[in-house]
Amino acid sequence: MSDSDGAADATDAESADETAGEPLADWSVADGTAITEGQATGEVLRSSEPISFYGAVDLDTGEFIEEGHDLEGSSIDDKVLVFPRGKGSTVGSYVLYGVAQNGVGPAAIVLEETETIVATGAILGEIPCVDGLEISLDSLADGERVTVDADAGEVRRVDSAPDAGSADDAGDR
């Protein structure tokens, strides 16, 4: 690596540090940490709330059934599920595995921080999972299509959401 390459890498790292935690409208690839293996493409379904899969997701349909949660009534089936972190019972790992086995689980998972419940469920269910993105999860808008490449530890934007200007508005799911 030449000195000029090193300087460019340092500048890129500084830029990433300055934007971490803030929503970015214009991004194409976001680096993170691979939790599992695999790749999947799907529409983003984003929650600002932690998720407990036990008692929150119907095993047969993939419908989010936790009353009062911002995803209540939404289907996680074949979505890129984006949320801060898991919570609750260790049984949640088996619920996540169960929805994957029943063919109604998420295509992939993206989190701020993966704890053992979600990590175990994603591993058992063979669901690509990435956390710790260099951009805020708010930069991922409901309905936009992304590819989660857990092998590379990154998320790539495929298509922006039809109404990407209102990433804070969950709208109809």
> Residue 89 catalytic?
yes
Q: What percent of the chain has pLDDT over 70?
A: 79
With b meaning 16 or more CB within 10 Å and e meaning fewer, what string describes 70-103? Answer: ebeebbbbbbbbbbeebbbeeebbbbbbbbbeee
pTM: 0.81
Note the pLDDT of residue 159: 87
What's the mean per-residue pLDDT of the chain? 85
Q: Residue holding tokens 């529409």?
A: 43
pLDDT digits (tens, 9 = 90+) for 65-93: 999 999 999 999 999 999 999 999 899 99
Nearest alpha-carbon partner for 34 in 138, 128, 140: 128
pLDDT digits (tens, 9 = 90+) for 106-127: 999 999 999 999 999 999 999 9
Which domains are assigned to the chain? 3-160 (3.50.30.10)
Pick the catalytic residue from 74, 75, 89, 136.
Answer: 89
Q: Which two tokens stand for residue 37?
A: 């293996």
pLDDT digits (tens, 9 = 90+) for 131-149: 999 999 999 999 999 999 9
| Number of other CB atoms surrounding residue 145 within 10 Å | 15
